[in-house]
Amino acid sequence: MADNKKNKRNNRNNNNNQDENYNPKFRKIRKKVCPLCADKNLVLDYKNAEQLKKFVNDKGKILPRRATGACAKHQRDITLAVKRARQIAILPYTAE
């Protein structure tokens, strides 16, 4: 029993190591540009629900940085704005 477990683990590790041969064609990294850095005229407004809807999913959750593409600084601003909007009932805490 113990040996089987060990073998499984080893196989997994080996598979991970073989990822060095992973075809990079399927891994094209497209660098996202922060929407707030790209457009300097765009100012986040917690009273503007239409603007903030882009940064929440259909459940009302705030999207992660990997989805919004925002930089750390602006992601913080987005989070703050969404939370303020929720507080004044412009955006929902949860949907459905």
* Contacting positions for Zn ion (CB under 5 A): 34, 36-37, 71, 74
Shortest distance in whole angstroms from residue 78 CB to Zn ion: 9
Query: Which residue's Cβ lies closest to Zn ion?
Result: 34
The C-alpha atoms of residue 32 and residue 55 are separated, in whole angstroms, by 15
Shortest distance in whole angstroms from residue 79 CB to Zn ion: 13
Q: Which residues contact 24 (CB under 8 A, 6 or more apart)?
A: none
| Residue with Cβ nearer Zn ion (8 or 39) | 39
| Residue with Cβ nearer Zn ion (38 or 95) | 38
Single-letter amino acid code for the residue at 8: K
Which helix (H) or strand (E) segment holds residue 29: the answer is none
